[in-house]
Structure 1
Amino acid sequence: MFCHPIRIAAADIDDMGHVNNSVYLRWVQEAVVGYWRKTAPAESVAAHLWVALRHEISYRRPTFLDDIVVADVVAEQVKGARAFFSTIIRRGEDVLAEVKSCWCCLDAGTGRPVRLSREVVGRFIP
């Protein structure tokens, strides 16, 4: 698991006084990419990019400006060029949102989908 701290900015707050739902997508992107950068070898990070294919978000509780929030990311599975992640966004013990997402690994030079080596996959899939 990878724990990604989240910063909440005033611009993240909507007219209802809490974090706008669209901001959660940015948080998931930051958390998954951060997990990749921390876990993968430097040469793989330089050679590959990730693009989100799908996010399924279940919102549980609102998030506010002064909250201390983290995103816990787990890589669940890799199939070909696709990787599946689970992200839990928390404020202390409270679950704020649960996210299931699917990402495609791209070759940084060509922009085409590419499979990761078994060695790289083994670094972040238990």
Structure 2
Amino acid sequence: MESSCPAMFRHPVAIEPADIDHMGHVNNSVYLKWVQDAVVDYWQSVAPPDAVARHLWVALKHEISYRKPTFLQDTVVAEVIADKVEGARAYFTTVVRRGQEVLSEVKSCWCCLDAVTQRPARLARDVVSRFLPPTA
């Protein structure tokens, strides 16, 4: 089975004045929103429309390593890579960058849900192949 998955998905990040904390840079909690937006955008860009309509994603775990502060005037991109899928769970790495500078690295685990029942749901192989390279 041939995969048409992108090696990496780039999601532009919009920094809002409300994202800035009392120290003058983006509050750490905002990174979670960026990761959520980036992973969902990635899913919606690679999955067929019927799969997007039938499935929802909920984050189970985020491990964030903050490297450098982010400021209101920065141009930032979140780069998403799908690492693996196991059953109804998918694992992603998201790197937030300002140019070549790494601002944060996030490892996250997500659960795929059936949109109607909101119970865990496995994705069909052909859907998984759209965002994960085939295993050797």
Structure that is richer in helix per residue: 1
Picking from 121, 131, 134, the partner of 1:114 is: 121
Question: Where in structure 2 are the equivalents of 1:62-101 lying within 5 Å?
Answer: 62-101=69-108
TM, length-normalised to structure 1? 1.00
Q: Identity percentage over the alignment? A: 69
Q: Which runs of 4+ in 1 moved over 2 A?
A: none
Shift of 1:59: 0.1
CA RMSD in angstroms, aligned pairs only: 0.2
Q: Using the alignment, how far apart are the partners of 2:39 and 2:83 within structure 1?
A: 12
TM, length-normalised to structure 2? 0.92
What amino acid is the match of 1:16? M
1:50 corresponds to 2:54: no
Shift of 1:70: 0.1
Cα distance per residue 1:46-97 (max 9 Å; x no partner): 0000000000000000000000000000001000000000000000010000
Q: Which residue of 2 aligns with 1:38?
A: 45
Contiguous gaps of at least 5 residues in structure 2: 1-7
Q: Using the alignment, how far apart are the partners of 1:110 and 1:25 within structure 2?
A: 26
Shift of 1:114: 0.3
Aligned residues: 126
Shift of 1:11: 0.1
Larger relative contact order, structure 1 or 2 (CA cutoff 8 Å, min sep 6): 2
Contiguous gaps of at least 5 residues in structure 1: none
